[in-house]
A and B are shown apart, each in its own frame.
Chain A
C-alpha cells in the first residue's frame, strides 16, 4: 500500500511504549498492531489527532506516501 504508517519510528523517537499509545488513543493493542503493520484500510481523523497529540508530532511524521514504483 502506498501510504506507510511510521508509528514505530515515532514511538522510538519519543521513547514511548505501544501499550501506552493504545491506551492514550483509546484503541485496542490489536487495532494498533493493524495500524503499524499496514493492514488498516482507513484511519479516523479522531484517531490520528489522538496519536499526534500523544506523540507530539504532525500527521506527516506518522503517515508517509511511498510510490510503489519508487521501490523498483
Chain B
C-alpha cells in the first residue's frame, strides 16, 4: 500500500473509532437525561423512608426527617434548578456525540453544542449556589417557630464548575476557528 493510501486508511480507521465511541456515549447521555430527573423525583418521593446516612450528608440535624408531601414537591422543584442546568449540559453533550457519529467534527453545530455545555456549567454553578438557601428554608418550613434556617454556602464544586464552564467556552471559540479553516478547506478544489 502506498504511503498516501495507508495514511488515508489510518484516517478512516480513526473516524470509525470516533463514530463507535460517540454512539456509546450518546446512549449514555440519553440514559442520564432520564436518570437525573427520575432519581431526583425518587429521592424526594421516598425521602421520609430513606436511611439516615443517606440524608445526613445533605442536611443538618435540625431538619425534620419526616417532611409533608407539599414540602417534598417544592424541594424537588428547587432541585430541578441545578438539575436542569445539568440536563442542559448533558443534552449539549449528546448532540455533540450525535454530530461526531455523523462524521461532523468542525461544523457550526459543533461550536453551538460546546457553547451550550459551557453556559450550562456556568448556570449550574449559579443554580447550585441558589439551591442551598432555598432548600434550607424549605426543609425547615415545618419546624417550630425560631427553628427555621437559611443557609448559604460556596463550595469547590461551584468554583470548579465556573472554571470548567470558562474553559469550555474558550474551547468553543477555538473550535469556531477550526470550523472556519474547515470551511475554507472544503471549498478549496
In whole Å, how far is B185's beta carbon from the nearest beta carbon of chain A? 9
Bin the interface of chain A by size: 10 to 19
Query: Which residues of the other chain, B, contact A17 by a CB distance below 8 angstroms?
Result: none
A41 CB contacts on chain B under 8 angstroms = 184, 187-188
Looking at A27, A42, A47, the one whose CB has the most chain B CB atoms below 10 A away is A42
Asked if A67 lies at the interface with its beta carbon under 8 angstroms from chain B, I say no
| Contact of B54 with A by CB under 8 A | no
B179 CB to nearest chain A CB (Å): 14
Which of B184, B187, B189 has the largest number of chain A CB atoms within 10 A? B189
A15 at the interface (CB under 8 A from B): no
Q: How far is the CA of A41 from the CA of B189 in the complex (A)?
A: 8
Can you spell out 14 A-B residue pairs with CB atoms less than 8 angstroms apart?
A27-B189, A31-B189, A32-B189, A34-B187, A34-B189, A40-B187, A40-B189, A41-B187, A41-B188, A42-B184, A42-B187, A43-B188, A43-B189, A44-B189
Chain A interfacial positions (CB closer than 8 Å to B): 27, 31-32, 34-35, 39-44, 47
